[in-house]
Structure 1
Amino acid sequence: MDIARTFESVVIIFNPNSSGDAPKLAEKLRDGLRELLSYTPDIRLQPTGHAGHAVALAREAAAGGGEVLIVSVSGDGGYNEVVNGVMQGGNPDAVCAVMAAGNANDHRRTTGTMPLAEAIAQGRVRHIDLLRIHTGQGPDAPGEYAHSYVGFGLTPVMAIDLEKGSKGAFREMFSVVRTFSKFQPFAIRQSDGRRRKFDSIVFANIAEMAKYATLSDADDKLSDGKFEVVIFPHMPKWRVLLKALHAATRGLGDQPSVGSYEFTTLKPLPYQIDGEVKSVDAGTFVKVESAPAALPILG
């Protein structure tokens, strides 16, 4: 059930060096809220100083307690940092929101229901699931949250190559074609002990990614305690290309949904989490699980 909320403070986190004009968008949101809200919260702009800084800023804002709204003016990667910081802050009254200021902005595009300032003024908070990925076993195994997706295989490899090149539609297309022609499948050991080879596995909490691809028909499943598993088993490259084209035009249709998925890597393996690329070593136990209704959001 939606609960109308007001906030003691609003913390707006942004990258001052963003290519998406985040500083101006953050200032515009601050000024708009001062005019629109019927109450007077403490509204603060918090620029980041380095990669990962948004995690610390969001954690500090949430841990301070009280009714706080933490807004990320960013793309999916910046919002991922803010979400992880809020989850680390341990404040059940902390609420998240995102204003699109990045390249793909998959999360905002697929979950947004109205202009952000208007949503904040209405104060109708809803809870969505998160993904949590553990890399390793035991109580000290690293755990990290994703608001949208975690991808292994073709997805992070494409992202790495795009980051090496320049931005722009033609250069992006050239990078994709070049990387696809060299791409090799990866193998993992599943929980039943079987070894399987894949071109791609995406664990998705949203129905779309990479601006164009429709992964599933999961429009109303942001808070069902499950996530979709979109698998491309190893196949000839022309079939991968056709499947990717299908995702970009008609969508992939219904996909299996689960509450958790686990496997062990056989070689070092990159993965992409909400647009950011990371990696795990060979022989690493990986578990992706749903964190049901873990994140209160506006927007």
Structure 2
Amino acid sequence: MSDTTRTFAAIVIIYNPNSTGNAPKLAEQLRDELRGLLPYRPDIELQPTGHAGHAVMLARDAAANLHDVLIVSVSGDGGYNEVVNGVMQSGNPNAVCAVMAAGNANDHRRTTGTMPLAEAIALGRTRHIDLMRIHTGQGPDAPGEYAHSYVGFGLTPVMAIDLEKGSKGALKEMFSVVRTFSKFQPFEIRQSDGKHRKFDSIVFANIAEMAKYATLSEADDKLSDGKFEVVIFPHMPKWRVLLKALRATTQGLGEQPSVSSYEFTTLKPLPYQVDGEVKSVDAGTFVKVESAPAALPTLG
């Protein structure tokens, strides 16, 4: 979808006051910078979150009730995930989202950002990006939520979060991989052809990199092609899994297959991660991940 230029009647900046990345100060700095930079005078509001999931409510209410609104998340990937889901729940296709990196990790901003956020807001040049949607269960009441960057099962997403918590530097990240690797076992699922297969990791990715050093794929234009990449580690001897994981932190994994939908059924309770946030599904749960093409207007 082509770019459009927007001005905003309201800008809502959502942040976690207890963020490890100094989100309150960053939010205030962004507000002050916008007041001096924008040639028009939008209503700029700071909204701190009070508990887990609060950003979903704040973003949903802002998108549903404010005209020409930009909603900025000053957060890591998990906080931005809440804001994106709130905007999508609002049913307002014109609400624009943006993210300023704060907190533990923001792979989305790091891999997709094109310019300083305040400058991007002043230019007002929006673009539409794909999201992914994961459904757990079947039927009209089956839970579903959006991901802006990745959905992961097994070793790789947990390894990536552990990397982000570790010390900086590629060599130390490799030691983090080794430490985390020893804790995980393969999981078995029933795929859409009815066959049972074991995996060490499956990651569905809208972005090419996770946790600074883990390069998942080399696909171009990943955010607007109506597909996502599927990065699979089938079950294999541990030394081979380790070598592949280390390759992700150094050389990258190379080109990966891309699809618009992927589905399977769990055989045992299974944890997974959506943009870094840990979830879980019960045994016997139908899981479907699908692309939501051009679903989110954004800038920056």
Q: Tell me the TM-score normalised to structure 1 length.
A: 0.95
Question: Is the aligned partner of 1:169 residue 2:167?
Answer: yes
Give me the whole-angstrom Cα distance separating, in 1, the residues matched to 2:150 and 2:199: 17
Distance of 1:241 and 1:70 partners within structure 2 = 40
Q: Residue deviations 1:62-120, cap 9 Å, x none?
A: 00041000000000000000000000011122000000002221000111000000000
Which residue identity does 1:227 align to in structure 2?
Answer: F
Q: 1:212 to 1:172 in 2, by over 3 A?
A: closer
Q: Name 2:296's counterpart in structure 1.
A: 295
Contact 1:104 1:211 in 2 (8 A): no
Matches within 5 A, 1:2-21: 2-21=3-22
Q: 2:187 aligns to what?
A: 186
SS in 2 for 1:294: strand
1:218 corresponds to: 219
The 8 Å contact of residues 261 and 289 in structure 2, kept in 1 or not, is answered as: yes
Question: Does residue 227 of structure 1 match 2:228?
Answer: yes
Q: Which amino acid is 1:189 matched to? A: R
Question: Which residue of the partner structure matches residue 93 of structure 1?
Answer: 94
Structure 1 residue runs without a partner (length 5+): none
- Provide the rounded CA distance (Å) in 1 between the counterparts of 2:159 and 2:57: 29
SS of corresponding position for 1:84: helix
Corresponding residue for residue 130 of structure 1: 131
- Tell me, yes or no, if the aligned pair for 2:177 and 2:246 is still in contact at 8 Å: no
Secondary structure, aligned partner of 2:223: coil
Alignment correspondent of 1:62 = 63
Superposed structure 1 runs of 4+ greater than 4 Å apart: 156-160, 170-176
Helix, strand or coil: the match of 1:222? helix
Is residue 2:77 matched to residue 1:73? no
Give me the whole-angstrom Cα distance separating, in 2, the residues matched to 1:238 and 1:277: 26
Q: Quick check: 1:127–1:293 contact (8 Å CA) kept in 2?
A: yes
Alpha-carbon distance in structure 2 between the residues aligned to 1:274 and 1:256: 20
| Counterpart secondary structure, 2:222 | coil
Q: Secondary structure at the match of 2:247?
A: helix
* CA offset digits 1:114-167 (Å, max 9, x no partner): 00000000000000000000000000000000000000011355478x59xx95
Residues 155 and 271 of structure 1 are in contact (CA less than 8 Å); yes or no, is this contact kept in structure 2?
no
In the alignment, the residues of structure 2 paired with residue 197 and residue 260 of structure 1 have an alpha-carbon distance, to the nearest angstrom, of 20
The letter of the residue matching 1:180 is F
The offset of 1:173, in angstroms, is: 7.2
Name the structure 1 match of 2:280: 279
Q: Deviations over 1:8-60 (max 9, x none)?
A: 00000000000100000000000000000010000000000000000000000
Q: Which residue of 2 aligns with 1:82?
A: 83
Question: How far has the Cα of 1:172 moved from its partner?
Answer: 8.1
Q: Secondary structure at the match of 2:193?
A: coil
- How far, CA to CA, are the matches of 1:93 and 1:153 in structure 2? 36
Task: Letter of the 1:276 partner, please give it.
Answer: E
Q: What SS does the corresponding residue of 1:271 show, helix, strand or coil?
A: strand
Aligned length: 296
Indicate the percent of aligned positions where both proteins have the same amino acid.
85
Structure 2 matches for 1:12-31, cutoff 5 A? 12-31=13-32
Could you tell me how far apart the structure 2 residues matched to 1:246 and 1:176 are? 11
Q: 1:245 to 1:178 in 2, by over 3 A?
A: closer
What are structure 2's unaligned runs of at least 5 residues? none
Offset of 1:281 from its aligned partner?
Answer: 0.3
CA distance in 2, matches of 1:246, 1:173: 9
The CA distance in 2 between the partners of 1:296 and 1:113, in whole Å, is: 15
Aligned to 1:152: 153
- Counterpart-to-counterpart distance in 2, 1:177 and 1:274: 22
Deviation at 1:2, TM superposition (A): 1.2
Structure 1 counterpart SS, 2:199: strand
Letter in 2 for 1:219: D
- Contact kept? 1:7, 1:41, Cα under 8 Å: yes
Counterpart in 2 of 1:116?
117
- Alignment partners' CA distance in 1, 2:45 and 2:116: 20
Mapped to 2, the partners of 1:296 and 1:145 lie a distance apart of: 14
CA contact 1:127–1:296 (8 Å) conserved in 2: yes
Taking the aligned partners of 2:272 and 2:166, their CA distance within structure 1 comes to 23
1:169 aligned counterpart, secondary structure = coil
C-alpha distance after superposition, 1:203-223 (max 9, x if no partner): 000101122111111231211
